[in-house]
Amino acid sequence: MHFEIPETMKAMTLVAYDKLALARVPVPKPGPGEVLCKIKSVAICGSDPKMIHGGYQFANWPPYYPFIMGHEWAGQIVALGEGVEDFQVGDRVAGEAHVGCGKCENCKRGHYTVCLNYGHDGHDGGLDLGHRHYGFYWQGANAEYNVYKTSALHRIPEGVSYDVASMCDCAGVAMHGVELAGVTPGGTTVVFGPGAIGLCAMQECKALGAGRVIMIGRGNKLDKAKELGADICIDFMKEDPVQRVLELTNGVGADEVMECSGAADSPYKACQMVRKTGSIAIIATYHAGDVMIPANTVNFNEIRIVGSKANPNVSDKVLHFFATSQINGEALITHRFPLERYEEAVDIFEHKKDGSIKVVINPEMEA
Looking at the structure, do residues 148 and 177 belong to the same domain, yes or no?
A: no
| CB atoms inside a 10 Å sphere around CB 31 | 12
pLDDT of residue 1: 81
State whether 40 and 146 are in the same domain.
Answer: yes
pLDDT in tens, 177-205: 999 999 999 999 999 999 999 999 999 99
Does 160 map to a domain? Answer: no
- CB neighbour list of residue 290: distance below 8 Å, 6 or more residues apart: none
Task: Let me know if residue 111 belongs to a domain.
Answer: no
Domain assignment present for residue 118? The answer is no
CATH number of domain containing 261: 3.40.50.720
- pLDDT band for position 363 (cuts 50, 70, 90): very high
Q: Within a domain: residue 122? A: no
- Rounded mean pLDDT of 19-45? 97
Instruction: Give the residue among 103, 91, 95, 88 at the shortest CA–CA distance from 74.
Output: 95
The answer on 299 and 176 residing in a single domain is yes
pLDDT-derived band at 271 (thresholds 50, 70, 90) equals: very high
Residue 129's pLDDT is 67
Please give the residue that has the higher pLDDT: either 143 or 127.
143
- 35 with 147, same domain: the answer is yes
Q: How far apart are the first and last CA of the chain?
A: 28
**CA–CA gap between residue 15 and residue 329 (Å, rounded):** 32
Looking up residue 73, the CATH number of its domain turns out to be: 3.90.180.10
Stretch 52-79: mean pLDDT, rounded?
95
Average of per-residue pLDDT across 12-36: 97
CA–CA dist 328, 366 (Å, integer): 27
Region of poorest pLDDT, from 55-64, 324-333, 339-348: 55-64
- Determine, yes or no, domain membership for 140: yes
**Mean pLDDT estimate for the chain:** 95
pLDDT at res. 63: 92
Beta bridge partners of 95: 153
pLDDT > 60? residue 341: yes
pLDDT at 122 over 60: no
47-73 average pLDDT score: 95
pLDDT digit string (tens) for 226-268?
999 999 999 999 999 999 999 999 999 999 999 999 999 999 9
Measuring CA to CA, which residue among 119, 146, 143 is closest to residue 133? 119
Query: Is there a single domain that holds both residue 151 and residue 185?
Result: no
Is 121 part of any domain? no
Residues 193 and 303 in one domain: yes
Q: Do 140 and 179 fall within a single domain? A: no
Percent of the chain with pLDDT over 90: 92
Is it the case that residue 130 has pLDDT exceeding 80?
Answer: no
Residues 290 and 358 in one domain: no
pLDDT at 131: 83
Residues 175 and 141 grouped into a single domain: no
pLDDT confidence tier of residue 86, bands split at 50, 70 and 90: very high
Of the three residues 275, 307, 339, the one that is the final residue of a domain is 307
Residues 6 or more apart whose CB falls under 8 angstroms from that of 356 comprise 334, 335, 348, 349
Reported as a pLDDT band with limits 50, 70 and 90, residue 128 is low
Q: Report yes or no on 102 lying in a domain.
A: no
Local structure of 94: helix, strand or coil: strand
If asked whether residues 203 and 284 sit together in one domain, one would say yes
189 and 267 belong to one structural domain: yes
Q: Phi and psi for 73 in degrees, rounded to 5? A: -150, 165
Residue 181 counted as domain residue? yes
296 and 261, same structural domain? yes
| Residues spanned by the domain of 300 | 171-307
Domain count, the chain: 2
20-23: long-range contacts (C-beta < 8 A, 24 or more apart)? 20/52, 20/342, 20/343, 21/66, 22/339, 22/340, 22/342, 23/66
The pLDDT tens digits of the residues spanning 276-324 come to 999 999 999 998 778 999 999 999 999 999 999 999 999 999 999 999 9
